[in-house]
Every structure is written in C-alpha cells, then in structure tokens.
Amino acid sequence: MRFFQLLNFQHVVLYLFPSLVFLVIFWAGLGYLHFRTRDSEERAEKLYATYAEGLSTRNAPFPLALILIILGVIIWAFLYILMVGLLGVKI
C-alpha cells in the first residue's frame, strides 16, 4: 500500500498519456504517409536497384508519422527531465 494515493494516479498518467498520444499520432500518420513535394510520387515509384528473389529498393520520403513520433519522444523526455529537476524529485 502506498502512503500517498496521488502517486498511483501520477504513474497511471505517466504510462497512459504517452501511449495514447503515440497511438493518435501513428493513426494520423497513416493518413499522410510522407511530406508531399513535387517529386514525392516519382521517388516512391522509381526503382533504384533490383536484387535476387524480386527484391527492389526505392528512395521513398521519410514518413511523417515517424518524424512526429521521434520529435514527441525527444520533447517528452526533455520536459520529463526538466520537471523532475524542478520539482526536486530524486530519481
């Protein structure tokens, strides 16, 4: 049993909120796979190399969902470290 019941709620928020944000960003990213530029369609269709067994490579743009997820993780980690430092909680 915990001495402070609010600590349980804080842990639930710290586990649940980033997970929900990740799912929403990933879902939104599925709708827009990449930044659309003038040559996006050409880059996605053009084959650069063909290997054995029918494998081929393309120079497709980096997915928007992954950019947002990486930025979100970096911002969350920075704010988490900053807030832990400001509140004086020892890790």
Under the banding of pLDDT at 50, 70 and 90, the label for residue 78 is: very high
* Range(s) of the domain holding residue 58: 10-87
Can you tell me the distance from the alpha carbon of 30 to that of 28, in angstroms, rounded to the nearest whole number?
Answer: 5
pLDDT at 85: 82
In a domain, 20, yes or no: yes
In a domain, 27, yes or no: yes
| Count: domains in the chain | 1
CB 40 within 8 A of CB 34: yes
Q: What is the pTM of this model?
A: 0.47
In a domain, 1, yes or no: no
What is the three-class DSSP state of 39? coil
Mean pLDDT of 35-50: 73
Strands (E), the chain: 47-50, 56-58
Mean pLDDT of 8-26: 82
Handedness of CA 65, 68, 74, 80 (dihedral sign): negative
In a domain, 45, yes or no: yes
pLDDT digits (tens, 9 = 90+) for 49-76: 888 887 877 776 677 777 878 898 999 8
In a domain, 2, yes or no: no
